[in-house]
Amino acid sequence: MTESLPPGWLPARLNQGWTYSDRVNQAQAPVLISAFLAERYRHSEASLWRVRLQEGEILVNGRRLDGDELLSTGDRLQWQRPPWREEAVPASWRLIHDDGDLYVIDKPSGLPVLPAGGFLEHTVLRLLERSFQGHGPDGGGAFPALPRPVHRLGRHTSGLLVCARRPQSRAWLSARLRDSTAELQPQGRPDVRSAPPAAACRKVYRALTVPAPLELGLGEALAITTPIGRRPHAGLGQIWAAAAGADDPEALPAWSEVRLLERRSHGHLVEVTIRTGRPHQIRIHLASVGIPLLGDPLYGPGGNPRPGALPGDSGYRLHAHRLRLPLPAGGWLDLEALAPGELC
């Protein structure tokens, strides 16, 4: 039966497969191949890796194996994963800005940015590569023609995604999009009373939260500084969530400000401004103060992950709405992607 999709979507289809490469370090050896791979790729148990060994998918030091054996320090593994079926995704977007180096798009919800989580070809990166195939420095342009993403948005987060053609621009912008609180305090900890530093990005999102009690008047704001760290996860090994405690040495400082725009019967419309770009920051922060994103299957009250859910699961409403971006050569770039109807 033919899949019925909206215009501009890529249908579900098989990709070409992929080869994953790993090397055994001294702390891991000696170890069985199946045990090593089960620890490295938590989505599959050791029994399934033994099946893959029997099917000839695993190479060690270039040698294809048909059974389990012990690995030594320095051994190199390759998993030649056969083609798999990728889900249908929206494959078109609105171009917001292109100056020959920076290329900013309004990413649709449902489209992953980079290969991960079962997606390889159905990503922004692969679509850009196909769109700009055959263009490059030899084409006479001032920059390489292929723009690459500077940062990530969650698969189901829509809105402003910044790409750049120059590697120097990507590195410079990535640092500023990822963490602009480091300039606030010598210790790198956010201070809610401090104004953002002059060179900081301003990143503003629109979201719908659950209709939980929120002691804010319309237009009032609340600063959230819950540190973000890693928690154990059955399928992934570890997952980003609200830090287990204030003394967690690996927790990352994070700062968000949520502003109430409208109370609705099914949820709150809010605007969220962030100074840091931690993984899943807005989802974790809003959940940590008792107002998770409406429909978020992963993060519940307290900012803790729910068992059985994954970061790429759909259901929530989040949109990267406005961005004020410092430019490497000086000056600023102000960008906006119109919010979808339910977030207006």
Sign, Cα dihedral of 11, 12, 18, 22: positive
Q: Is residue 133 one of the residues assigned to a domain?
A: no
Q: Is residue 121 one of the residues assigned to a domain?
A: no
- Pick from 129, 127, 14: nearest CA to 81: 14
Per the structure, the count of domains in the chain is 2
- pLDDT at position 246, please? 66
CA gap 86, 119 in Å, rounded = 6
Q: Examine residue 232 and say whether the peptide bond preceding it is cis (omega within 30 degrees of 0).
A: no
Tell me the CATH number at 284: 3.30.2350.10
**Which residues form the domain of 278?**
197-313
Q: Is residue 340 one of the residues assigned to a domain?
A: no
- pLDDT at position 327, please? 85
* Cβ count within 10 A of residue 289: 19
Cα 220 to its chain centre, rounded Å, is: 29
Distances, alpha carbon 288 to alpha carbons 24, 225, 306, in Å = 38, 10, 13
- pLDDT at position 184, please? 40
Q: What is the pLDDT of residues 209-255, one digit of tens each?
A: 999 888 899 999 999 999 999 988 877 778 999 997 767 778 999 99
Q: Which of 62, 82, 102 is the last residue of a domain?
A: 82
DSSP 130: H
Q: Which residues pair with 333 in a beta bridge?
A: 325
Q: Is residue 32 one of the residues assigned to a domain?
A: yes
Assign residue 160 a region: left if phi > 0, alpha if psi is -120 to 50, beta otherwise? Answer: beta
Cα 125 to its chain centre, rounded Å, is: 13
CA gap 83, 134 in Å, rounded = 25
Q: Is residue 274 one of the residues assigned to a domain?
A: yes
Provide the Cα torsion 236, 232, 283, 211; round to 10°. 120
Q: Which residues pair with 52 in a beta bridge?
A: none
- pLDDT at position 182, please? 41
- Pick from 125, 148, 180: nearest CA to 325: 180
| DSSP-derived 3-state class of residue 343 | helix
Angle 33-40/46-54 helices, nearest 10 degrees?
Answer: 120
Tell me the CATH number at 40: 3.10.290.10
- Write down the residue that tokens 């890796």 correspond to: 49
pLDDT < 50 positions in the chain: 137-142, 181-198
Q: Is residue 108 one of the residues assigned to a domain?
A: no
Q: Is residue 223 one of the residues assigned to a domain?
A: yes
Q: Is residue 72 one of the residues assigned to a domain?
A: yes
